[in-house]
Amino acid sequence: MELDEFRTSLDAWLDEQEGALAPDHDGLGTLDEQMAQLTKVKRLTFDAGWMRWGWPVRVGGLGGTTLPRAYLGEALTSRDLVEPGIYSMAEVLAPTMIDFAAPELAATMVPRLLRGDETWCQGFSEPGTGSNLASLSCRAVRSHGGWRVTGQKVWTSLAQYSERCVLLTRTGSVESAHRGITALFVDMDSPGITVRPIESMHGVEEFCEVFFDDVAVPFDRTLGEEGQGWSVAMDLLPYERSTSLWHRAAYLHRRLQQLLDAAPPDTLDAAEVGQTTQLLYAFRARSRSTQHRLARGEDLGPETSIDKVLLATIEQAVFDLVGDGLASDLAIGDGTTSERWRTEFLYSRAATIYGGSAEIQRNIIARRLLDLGSDR
């Protein structure tokens, strides 16, 4: 299906299904309510076929380019039917699962994720290593019948809701750095896994610590070959900075417009509004280009770090404006509307950290795009 036909047909269907798709909660809702809403929307859109466009037939999709996936997330976000961060986890994890998992495993698991029957998490970051994946220490050792995994992950989004985890483990020596990493697809109900949610400053337990105590993982859950985990990570991370960021841009566009509608007269500086709008459109232009490169089948790489740096800049700029235009609501306002502005303002402070810190992104740009050498 061509994008124009998809867009027109989807918009008509979303209008028809407005009541069925509407959240059951007011405002932003709790994380439990957001997850329930996400599950409902994914199930309805998958069963109607919309969620399947842009995914390979061999994993339950209907084929075609990735552009319908980008527009579906944009449309759902623009209508405030899903929270973009948790919706886009499928865009981050499923493509790499398709690339590196055994075909039978991908064909079984990916439809469950797309339909909302399952939630997956990404076990990459560790205490003391952050975004520096080459120094991770969560270890997997070979045993009779499979891997045994011991270690800890942190900042693992939605682990408390997840049935599976795409997990990076150390299978080589510590000195092997990026060469000694292996990726596994782990059942989160396996004995020995403990999930401990972390409440962040915006009051939401989105992240978790995850502890692995001699957890058994079958060999057929290895993604790619042993020692190929760095390639898995390098394949996945550009997806984290492509379609999911397009969805977040749609969310920021909606929230900027809502701010302009709600801010009292003379509370916003026209020059700052203009600059923020220019930044937002510049980011959307950049992200649009990335979507079309992805749709043409081009490999995404370190250049997507530019997208992430731009996204972090514009997210904080939008909510800096919220601090100017809705200062009272932000600081002391009651009710779901004020609470939502406040929560989202606090979350925006993390935009330069989540999905790979701004420092890491700039190092990638400097070393891999500009050939400026190591920073050490």
Question: Do 150 and 212 contact (CB within 8 A), yes or no?
Answer: yes
The span from the CA of 80 to the CA of 78, in Å, is: 5
- Both tokens of 262, joined, read 């709600």
Number of helices (H), then strands (E), belonging to the chain: the values are: 14, 8
What single letter denotes the amino acid at residue 230? W
Q: Are strands 164-170 and 222-223 parallel, antiparallel or unpaired?
A: unpaired
Question: Do 309 and 362 contact (CB within 8 A), yes or no?
Answer: yes
* Backbone φ and ψ of 147, nearest 5°: -85, 155
DSSP helix/strand/coil, 188: coil
Question: Do 111 and 60 contact (CB within 8 A), yes or no?
Answer: yes
Please tell me what DSSP assigns to residue 352: G
Q: What is the dihedral of CA 112, 92, 254, 331, to 10 degrees?
A: 100
The span from the CA of 165 to the CA of 85, in Å, is: 17
Find the catalytic residue in 83, 240, 315, 344. 240
Sign of CA dihedral 200, 203, 206, 210: positive
The span from the CA of 356 to the CA of 116, in Å, is: 26
Using the structure block, give the residue that is written with the tokens 């690339």: 99
The span from the CA of 356 to the CA of 295, in Å, is: 24
Question: Do 171 and 184 contact (CB within 8 A), yes or no?
Answer: no
Q: Is 240 a catalytic site residue?
A: yes
Catalytic residues, which ones?
240
